[in-house]
Amino acid sequence: MPDPCTYDHDELARCTEHPDELRARGIPIRCASCSARRDWLVILHRGTVWIRCRCAHQWHEPELTVDEFDELGAGPPDRYWPSFDEAVASMGFDGTLRGTYF
Ligand SMILES: [Zn+2]
Distance from Cα 3 to the centre of ligand 1, integer Å: 32
At residue 99, the pLDDT reads 83
Distance from Cα 82 to the centre of ligand 1, integer Å: 25
At residue 76, the pLDDT reads 78
- pLDDT grade, residue 94 (50/70/90)? very high
**Closest listed residue to residue 14, CA positions, set 61, 74, 54:** 74
* Whole-angstrom distance, CA of residue 12 vs CA of residue 54: 21
Q: What does the radius of gyration of the chain's CA atoms come to, in whole angstroms?
A: 13
Whether the predicted model's global pTM rises above the 0.75 cut: yes
Q: What would the pLDDT profile of 23-68 be if each residue is shown by its tens digit?
A: 988 899 999 999 999 999 999 999 999 999 999 999 999 999 999 9
Pairing of strands 38-45, 27-28: unpaired
Distance from Cα 54 to the centre of ligand 1, integer Å: 6
